[in-house]
Structure 1
Amino acid sequence: MRAVARATADRSEPFADVPPSQRAQWFRGIHDHSSEVGDTRICVSAAPYPPAARRDATRGGFPAVPGPWVDRKLGDFSRLRSAAERLGRVGQGRPADVRRALARAAVGAPGLRASTLGVDAARAAAPAAGRLPDPRLTFGLDGFPVTGPFAGQLDQDDFTMLRIGVEQDVPSRARRRAERDVAEAEIGVAGSELSVARREVQIATGLAWIDLFYAQRRLAALEEVLESLQPLWNTAPAGVASGAYRPANALGPVQLKADLDDRRSSLVAELEKARAELARWTGDNEPETTGPPPQDDLDLAALRSGIARLPILRAYGAAARRADAEVDLARAGRRPDWSLEASYGRRDERFGDLFSVGASVRLPIFPGQRQDPVIAARAADALRVTAERQDAERVVTASLQSALADHATAKDQWLRSRDVVLPNVLQRSDLETASYAAGRAGIVEVLEAFTAVANARLDTLDREAAVMRQVVEITLTYGNDAR
């Protein structure tokens, strides 16, 4: 009877025939190696199961697995923890790769080429501004008789002649100066639009680089976890077959593995999306990221003091200069414009040829109905641009404050996840492993503990990625060109 009871105990619990003191001795290696993550010490187990515990399921005892299973699995667990502890901290290297991506985008982005061509077009048109308009060639038949004795005859009346001449309009000097100012302002507007477009491309490229960088890290972390846990998925069914576990225990690992596989599929899709987005800006077919992310070294004072120099606000300055030039152009309408004419008249030889010169002037005698409404409209446009700039500066200032607050919150959450949550989950996995070694926990609990480690690692990477996205977005949106 005692032998039957002993055999039943062997089949129902791993290490049932091993004294607790011996189990503790086998697993004291759990505390032999430790590393620090933040302020929490993480125990890393490297101790093997004893040879006596490696039994075949047909003999009743530990589930049927290869002899060195525990050695290998504890080594996998150790690598799992080591990988979690190697989660990269911000600011460990130069952001050269990000800069290379930004440089490639600045050269190859079609939108920037279009904006550059806009600047070239404005510069090409500037020399023509303020010039005299093209002269006009005039010609006609003057003094042709249609009644009287010489009706229908070209050579009988001394007033009949063929005339050819040239007319030249001469706008006022104020109008021509205002036209040159408008052309110069258009160059400034086109240049500011190029700066805004370049900044937008930089932001989009930097965010795409960060998305790809962390998509690769998340996928690599999850694949490492899956590889480490691969030998464990068949342990529960083997334990059921040996009588060590209840049949329902074999279903838990199936769900855990399915959840991790679903998350891997999502991460693969995110990786491809991030790669496609970065390729859109850099022009690379298969862009990759190497090296560390940018440094989290936001200079709050410099960011706040540099708001007025941002491209989006400088664009309003260029628009204001163009509006002022258009006001001057409208006011120039009050000045009279001239037109000069010279012509030559060909008559019959009996009467001789004629040469004529003349001038005409435009008379702005009703400015209240013509010029003044246009001037008022252009002046209102100038005031509108000024008001829009003030509003834009307030919007940018509020957006910066909001972005900095979100960044501080996200960074706090990331550090808490990295330094508190992740070490706690790792410590729990250590305890579950120790309990499993002592025969007080099953393989399902171990799998759940290490699945929690995987989720905590991915969550920490998600939070780090969110922080670095904010760093890149704040730096490229509100920083000066030197940064």
Structure 2
Amino acid sequence: MRLSRLLRSCVEPCCLRLPGVGLVLALAGCASYAPQPLGTGQGAAEVGQLVAPTAAMPLPALATHRFDPSDGLDATEVAMLAVANSPDLRVKRGALGIARAQAFAAGLLPDPQLTFGEDFPRHGGPGLGNAFNLGLSEDVTALLTRSSRRAAARAQADQVNLDLLWAEWQTVAQARLLFDQVLNLRAQQARLTSEQAALAQVTPYIQAALNAGNLSYDSASAGLNAAADVRRQLADNAVALHQADSDLHGLLGLAAGAPLDLVGPPYQAVPTPAQVRQALDDLPKRRPDLLALQAGYASQEAKLRAAVLAQFPALTIGVNTARDTSAVYTHGFSIGLTLPLFDRNRGNIAIERATRQQLKDDYEARVLATRNDMQRLLADLATLEQRRSALAAHVQQLDDASRAAETSWRSGLLDWPTWLAIRSSTLSADLELLAVQQEQAKQSIALEALLGNTALGEPGSSAPAQAPTP
């Protein structure tokens, strides 16, 4: 009776005041709406408009590097800009905001339900009046599973946060790779341009000999085809350079026409065997993607616990007060109980358990694939280094032979077809050396990204890609 009187004394005045003070209190904590227009998506017109705060950098090598775009961008500065301004990372940071909001929502208590009804006598009579009923109830089952839901949502937010960190690491690797690729393609473009200029010297001799009838087209085809082949390679390389430059602009959030001054050597840091062994030993403790999978597995464990708890009968408890048409007041309580006869949440439990097994298998497969990839990349880098060393010596020999052949040709001691054949071999070897250097950079950057090692060295640990001397 004391509870009933308390409920009546509290609820009835509230109902009377609801259109006034009660409504104000109910709306006091409500969120407000404000429109947010879409952007233009044009990108920055110049690098000076972008910022790369060191405090937001995910790697120590970036956080301690001085950012000064006024003298051009080196490999590390490009990576810093990519982390700070990549449009794809902005989208992933938005996903992190959603996950955090979901974690906040999972921790909120369920709102109690207030019910009110009123009955009107169809035929009036003495002593009859309007009847009403008023009740207040709460879902107890939602309270029982709240801790599991909160744990699942928090682990899910941790997973999204770690996925974002892994995406930042991958963006750093992509920025370094595009930096190297642009520099390498520019070196190839310079080498082909110099070759085109050199071949332009022999074209007048060939054309004059053809006009004088001293040379047939079959004999002149070597010289004509050499120039045409260089023009073709120049065009193909220019297209590849345009694509790499466009990809780098997009990664940095720059407009297509924004000038981009790249300076310094390409990034290439090959880990030592000791660093690889150390990284393999503590790989699951350091790699953000593996830590993200662990957080996802923890979230799924919490979801499975919540599903198991939800198999018990759903319980709703409430209190109520009522008045009939004879002005007789009654006070009581209500209990709602779901009878676990058919469902018992068995379907959801089976789904959550199967999902947990899938996540477990996914994690173990990722670790195994990472270890195998690391070993493969190490073997590839060793092979590429042997190839580069042998090719560099071969290029040096061909460069010397090409310079000697040009001297002999200009002195009239060597015919131009032989000179062209030597130049063609030299050009092919020079371009092959640049391609091998680019492949080395690609593999070393991929290995560092897999290792997750933040102390493999700064850019410049190997010679920069330069156009060999024609």
Q: Please, what TM-score do these two structures have when normalized by structure 2? A: 0.71
Work out the CA distance in 2 between the residues paired with 1:130 and 1:154.
Answer: 52
Matching of residue 152 in structure 1 with residue 123 in structure 2: yes
Equivalent of 2:310, from 330, 333, 340?
A: 333
Match of 2:21 in 1: none
Cα pair 1:126 1:183 within 8 Å, conserved: yes
Matching of residue 195 in structure 1 with residue 171 in structure 2: no
The structural deviation recorded for 1:113 is 1.2
Matching of residue 459 in structure 1 with residue 429 in structure 2: no
Match of 2:281 in 1: 305
Cα pair 2:370 2:450 within 8 Å, conserved: no
Residue ranges of structure 1 left out of the alignment (5+ in a row): 1-93, 146-150
Work out the CA distance in 1 between the residues paired with 2:390 and 2:282.
Answer: 31
The structural deviation recorded for 1:325 is 0.4
Match of 1:382 in 2: 356
Cα pair 1:336 1:361 within 8 Å, conserved: no
Work out the CA distance in 1 between the residues paired with 2:332 and 2:455.
Answer: 62
Equivalent of 1:137, from 93, 114, 120?
A: 114
Percent of paired sites with the same residue: 21
Match of 2:150 in 1: 180
Match of 2:94 in 1: 117
Matching of residue 476 in structure 1 with residue 453 in structure 2: no
| Amino acid across the alignment from 1:152 | H
Match of 2:202 in 1: 232
Match of 2:401 in 1: 428
Work out the CA distance in 2 between the residues paired with 1:155 and 1:118.
Answer: 66
Change (3 A) 1:155 1:482: farther
Query: What is the number of residues matched between the two proteins?
Result: 379
Match of 2:269 in 1: 296
Matching of residue 411 in structure 1 with residue 385 in structure 2: yes
Change (3 A) 1:239 1:372: closer
Cα pair 1:178 1:329 within 8 Å, conserved: yes
Work out the CA distance in 2 between the residues paired with 1:358 and 1:479.
Answer: 60
Work out the CA distance in 2 between the residues paired with 1:397 and 1:432.
Answer: 50
Change (3 A) 1:208 1:164: same
SS at match of 2:145: helix
Cα pair 2:159 2:296 within 8 Å, conserved: yes
Cα pair 1:316 1:389 within 8 Å, conserved: yes
Match of 1:441 in 2: 414
Work out the CA distance in 1 between the residues paired with 2:293 and 2:335.
Answer: 41
Matching of residue 279 in structure 1 with residue 249 in structure 2: yes
Change (3 A) 1:330 1:106: same
Matching of residue 254 in structure 1 with residue 224 in structure 2: yes
Work out the CA distance in 1 between the residues paired with 2:128 and 2:288.
Answer: 72
The structural deviation recorded for 1:278 is 0.6
Equivalent of 1:362, from 304, 313, 337?
A: 337
Deviations 1:430-460 (A, max 9, x none): 5534654775521222232223222221121
Work out the CA distance in 2 between the residues paired with 1:213 and 1:302.
Answer: 32
The structural deviation recorded for 1:261 is 1.3
The structural deviation recorded for 1:275 is 0.5
Q: Once superposed, what is the RMSD of the aligned Cα atoms? A: 3.1
Residue ranges of structure 2 left out of the alignment (5+ in a row): 1-65, 68-72, 457-470
Change (3 A) 1:425 1:303: farther
Work out the CA distance in 1 between the residues paired with 2:362 and 2:261.
Answer: 41
Cα pair 2:268 2:445 within 8 Å, conserved: no
Q: Which residues of 2 match residues 4-43 of structure 1 at below 5 A?
A: none
The structural deviation recorded for 1:464 is 0.9
Cα pair 1:342 1:355 within 8 Å, conserved: no
Work out the CA distance in 2 between the residues paired with 1:307 and 1:161.
Answer: 70
Change (3 A) 1:481 1:232: same
The structural deviation recorded for 1:467 is 1.1
Matching of residue 345 in structure 1 with residue 335 in structure 2: no
375-384 vs 253-262, which moves further: 375-384
Q: Please, what TM-score do these two structures have when normalized by structure 1? A: 0.70
Cα pair 2:222 2:417 within 8 Å, conserved: yes
Cα pair 1:135 1:167 within 8 Å, conserved: yes
Change (3 A) 1:246 1:136: closer
| Amino acid across the alignment from 1:358 | F
Cα pair 1:338 1:359 within 8 Å, conserved: no
| Amino acid across the alignment from 2:80 | A
Match of 1:46 in 2: none
